[in-house]
Amino acid sequence: MGTPDEWLATIKKCQYLPEPDIKKLCEMVKELLLEESNIQPVNTPVTVCGDIHGQFYDLLELFRVGGEIPDTHYIFMGDFVDRGYYSLETFTLLMALKARYPDKITLLRGNHESRQITQVYGFYDECQNKYGNANVWKYCCQVFDYLTLAAIVDGKVLCVHGGLSPEVRTLDQIRTIPRSQEIPHEGAFCDLMWSDPEEHIDTWAVSPRGAGWLFGAKVTNEFNYVNGLILIARAHQLVQEGYKYAFPDDNLVTVWSAPNYCYRCGNVASIMQINENLKVDESSFKLFNAVPDQERNIPARVGVGQYFL
């Protein structure tokens, strides 16, 4: 059985671990996640990242651009898996970093960290193909259930995968959600994973995703005021330019960290660096492009066409 350092050396070569090692790694990470609250407090300086979606070589590029752990502290806002070629290696790398440097990386749950979604969008099939059974997928899904729902940076910047909920007015209401379960189909937990900001509405509207809500500037302003926040950072939506403020007050920003999403969208990616003075402006965002095809291994027998948005 390997150690976290040995696992990291293997995974960084884009090789996956033997099944017993993955089982051990998942158990170690679950123990660490058990200690974290639903809204995990994080101190500045910290770098905030959006969706990765199994784009392993682009995750390595993200660390080249933003700095390696433990020199840089990171928050990843979910959606580590599905759609890309290397969901297994991507999530395993993030777990091994968590096991080795637990205070330097905070992993939030996204809507794809779910049994139901991963059975449709690629992670289940990838585990089945690589191991010949679903055991590793099951171990990873148990970790998903323990992932925290949000992070709060210096008490002022809330990081969450999707967005707000009509059932949540205060941060304390998020803190009381029972989180160690599959993501429900509706309610506060679901909404935090699935909702999207929408500039053309004030309050709430039905989401075309079939889960979560669309929420407007008025709702966001009130939520930030009630909870003493200066900014909400979230992911969940592809942004061609890597990051985007949703509303005129610049109090909610989408951060997207999967460049050339699904290997065909042509977008740039970004990470958001928050320093000790909590000032977030254009200089806080580092943009990066996808790794060129010749620098990534594309698995045999996988056509891009089978991955859809």
Q: Which residues are catalytic?
A: 112
Q: Residue 283 contacts by C-beta under 8 Å, 6 or more apart in sequence?
A: none
Is 304 in a helix, a strand, or coil?
helix
Q: Residue 176 contacts by C-beta under 8 Å, 6 or more apart in sequence?
A: 38
Q: Residue 234 contacts by C-beta under 8 Å, 6 or more apart in sequence?
A: 50, 77, 159, 160, 161, 162, 163, 197, 252, 253, 254, 255
Beta strands in the chain (DSSP E): 39-42, 46-49, 74-76, 105-107, 150-153, 157-160, 196-197, 204-206, 213-215, 231-234, 243-245, 252-255, 269-274, 285-288
Please give the Cα distance from 290 to 57 (Å, whole number).
8
Q: Which helix (H) or strand (E) holds 97?
A: helix 87-100
Please count the residues of the chain: 309
Q: Residue 44 contacts by C-beta under 8 Å, 6 or more apart in sequence?
A: 153, 154, 274, 275, 276, 278
CA 182 and chain centroid, separation: 16
Strand partners, 20: none
